[in-house]
Amino acid sequence: MDNHLKNDRAAWIQGPSAHCSVIPSKLARAWRLVLLGAPGVGKGTQAERLCAHLGACHLSTGDVFRAAAANRAAAATPAMQAALECMREGKLVGDSTVWELVRERGGCLRCNGGFVLDGFPRTLRQAEALQLLMKEQGVALDAVLDYELPTDEIMSRLGGRRVCPACKAVFHLVERPPQISGVCDLCGGRLIQREDDRPEAIAVRLEAYESATQPLIEFYRKLGLLAPISAEGTPDKVFARTLKALHVTA
């Protein structure tokens, strides 16, 4: 994909009936990657940088849900309707519904530009299903990048995060503090700490992640696809490690 053109990912965000505004040309190397990592490791930042560097498309399940909540996801498939119902009730979208949403978008997996899959799979069952789906699409994963960070560092990163409900800007008490304590630099709104960024909530999130993901990590390790990457340090340092793991030049 030309670096000066931004793919709106319409087929991913809206569903199989939509068409992306930019159709990537076939690359000499179309990378197909899965990103794993606990909350707070910076996985989303690395996904965006990888997509810009490799010309791949960022396929984030979180983006699908956010677009749906903002009424920008047009395809009212049964899976999307089920996901919207869960979100309206304040519930987590179930594994089977998430899988159906990904399966509906199977064509995105064989896109000429490749992809960076972020937020899926989250369980062993989903990983096995993804392998079968990719086989049906005639493509295969190149690597599964597993970003690792000590628990105390994750607690520090998430516990210090503050967000602006008005403009969605994100700050950090240590790494990116606002100019005025408790006030958003961009819109002047009052900064808050999200409920799921409180220490007790973080502990629950990490325990749930570890329980669900460990079998997944073993699955990809046995397939020879797993690439563990330290997420300590700045995003630049983590990205340099990522490219080294993929044997890609900066």
Q: In whole angstroms, give the CA distance from residue 124 to residue 188.
A: 44
Tell me the helix, strand and coil percentages in the chain, rounded to 5.
45, 15, 40
User: Which entry of 66, 110, 125, 205 is annotated as an active-site residue?
Assistant: 205
Please, what is the end-to-end C-alpha distance for the chain in angstroms? 17
State residue 162 phi and psi, 5-degree precision. -130, 140
User: Which entry of 9, 32, 105, 122 is annotated as an active-site residue?
Assistant: 122
Asked if residues 56 and 3 have their Cβ atoms less than 8 Å apart, the reply is no
Asked if residues 225 and 141 have their Cβ atoms less than 8 Å apart, the reply is yes
Q: C-alpha dihedral over 132, 42, 95, 130, to 10 degrees?
A: 0
User: Which entry of 32, 43, 162, 241 is annotated as an active-site residue?
Assistant: 43
| 122 part of the active site | yes
Q: In whole angstroms, give the CA distance from residue 33 to residue 242.
A: 12
3-state DSSP assignment of residue 176: strand
User: Which entry of 72, 194, 237, 244 is annotated as an active-site residue?
Assistant: 194
- Comparing CA positions, the residue from 132, 96, 134 lying closest to residue 117 is 134
| 91 part of the active site | no
Q: Which amino acid is at 47?
A: A
| 161 part of the active site | yes
Residues recognised as catalytic: 43, 122, 161, 194, 205
